[in-house]
Amino acid sequence: MQVLAPAKINLSLKILGRRSDDFHEIETLIVPISLYDRIKIERRSSKHGIEFRCDDPSVPQGDRNLAVLAAIAFFEKTRIESGVLIELKKKIPHGAGLGGGSSDAASTLMALNELFETKLPREALAKMAEGIGSDVSFFIFQSAAICKGRGELVSPIKLR
């Protein structure tokens, strides 16, 4: 299965203060844009194991990669015992503030949900995404949104 993981831009950002968990309390308007990473995910015959490959050597590997963390969270939540190969082709510049890693994680969750036919609703995937990274939940909804908290409280909106 192959999916596209879009970049994002923040059209507005209000930093409302520091939280007790060392994140900032924010309110932001985020929109997805038409710059994408490509992710290919395949089932593997092994019962366990997530193999990750990326064409950009600057991207974190193993459990430091958000797509890998998303796969780990998915398999823990669903209790599915399977192996997968995740191949990432980067087009979104790593570390540029465009949400590439978060989008890769969200797209991985949605692709695994489809690949393993678990039929988890977006809200369940967004809840899973909260523990992975601040912007991951935003990408689950595939829409412009107002995001609050540290970014995990997502209210999709329509823009003109």
Instruction: List, by residue number, the catalytic residues.
Output: 8, 135
- Please enumerate in sequence order all residues whose Cβ is within 8 A of that of 98, keeping only pairs 6 or more positions apart, or say none: 7, 8, 9, 33, 35, 92
Instruction: Residue 66: name the closest of 16, 130, 143 by CA.
Output: 130
Q: Measuring CA to CA, how many Å separate 71 from each of 5, 97, 145?
A: 15, 22, 24
Whole-angstrom distance, CA of residue 129 vs CA of residue 66: 10
